[in-house]
Structure 1
């Protein structure tokens, strides 16, 4: 009970910590920020490749159909954090604090916490909290004032993000097929400000825009899995996901202040409207070969989000379809505990390439990354599991003079599992 109480307290406290993002990300000024495509779970070391991944002892939320793979009569608790170390170059702006065009930033945040169990023989379920998008930028620019050639210094700042509290369910249909659905409560706030200072015109004007969003959304998944070959040592899993187009309700307000005075009509509720999130789909496969003490797996995924039909655009940017390709490789080794083979350690490699939903000045924002990971289930404490993933990548739209981000990301996940309070009775 102490373990459960402690992790529940971590969950409650993480509601605030998840929102405390400090990394400056210039491209997060567009849309609803940078959308999180990383899966902060066991698949992180494989480029977050996991639409067709299934695990008995880990919470895999890449596809809700995977919850049916969990061991019966066990509950699982998982929490993780991520450290990001970034370098920005070729920027046409300077940081508001340092004034340098080559900028460094680092940050550590709680990425997620989740709970899962096999409710019945045919039903697996999970609840959790994780980020959906993040907005964090802080930079200076120049803005012309009138025909005399005067310029004002403008500081642009933005913070916040959209978060996802989810309840996922997977259901087995026969021995080789599972389907799943996730209901998610999306919520969050985006806070953007522009501070214009023009000493010659004696002007100091700050405009702050606050956008609050919320709604319940749904997504779906399916997996087909089978074994074949001599002694059924080869395994194949096919996975698919689908998300329909759904609304995200938004309340938009603007406050304009000159000096310390709110300007006439400077505190305005612009609109209560709907921001549409796009439909999307994905597919993947896992091919594995298993022996008594080892399993070798290869995985690949593709996914797309249909932003173009929504026709969103702003000054200098538009939203377009987003594509993601990824692949991963894993070697899992077992050890004998009381003459029973139990997974002890696994090693992973992976990579991905994605075209973001953000198009800046006609050039799509692109990102690629290479990953590696290791997981350990200590033989002395087999109920605990530890996963560490290291990622190196780059983000840019590769236009001449554009911002290029090189980043290193370290992800740590802690997993605990134990038997439900069945008092020794077999319930399944």
Structure 2
């Protein structure tokens, strides 16, 4: 890839409609920049946008991507779209960041559309685009017709919007069709992830939104820091976090409005962990520099951890009262130990029902804390699918099969949900690599 350095940043001049806002100094350590209003996410976009700035763009070509061009008109249209979708108020300070974001998006769109064109069977219909517009309008709290009219009133041509959406839909289908099988996760990966969730149940957890500004994409770490500071100012002043994340974040969570879900203490970079511990619920962080870029974190909620751990047990048992003699206990223990190597979660009930003097039962899923003290150690530490050594209780001697374990609580994901999240993460990673490879092979010139 070759990029010329003769970039004319002076091609864009902000009109008088823009406010004059002095840039703030970035704090030396992560700290709250302010508290966000959760209701801002629920208000229709059209209710908060009074108008769009007048941009004066240089005529002609501003970039070429292989044999495709990007014109000043294209760039202006994309900047207006970015502003409308993110609901960021354009100022002299943040216009360069918006321009950079729009230009990079157009470059990637040209690469994507050229790749889509290689597949004759991949055609996105007008109905597909209409459905996407309807979804966007619903999120904005209005009808598709009113949504398009609103954007047109801000200078965004409907046909330009439709072509942008056509490429976005086509790219999603191309990535899904090409990498879906490679993004699948094994049962072992799902089980490991579920175990990690279970082990983290007692640790502090944070429900966060994230915006990541990638330094390489915006011209360097200083540009990323300056751009992040401008976005923080805009969100504190009322721009919705989710809308800003969708337009500016380079993280895989951008498509979900920056929703990173529950994050467990100690599983993030040290710089982010410091911020998570300092932020209160509802607060937005100042820009957090990390290697390769800058994060902005929104603390939606905190909790000390899931209150319960659940385990699924089955047992084989010989009934013996507390008054049983040592010889009786020894005989029962020997009998169970002789069976132990043959038992699994799948056959333990069948085997015990066919053996005289043995009782088998499915104990179901229970809170570890509510189990008999003699069972708790097995329930906490034994491997899933294993059968324990003999355990003595006042009721008899037991073999316990540990058939499942998970963290309790309404917000803890199921195994199916964990599998879906892992697959989506893999698919997003493969899509980023795909686009990165296209950029590396492309001839990109900025005029």
State the TM-score bracket (shorter-chain normalisation). Answer: under 0.3
Which of the pair has the greater relative contact order for Cα pairs under 8 Å at 6+ separation? 2
Answer 1 or 2: which has greater helix percent.
2
Greater share of strand: 1
Q: TM-score, normalised by structure 1?
A: 0.20
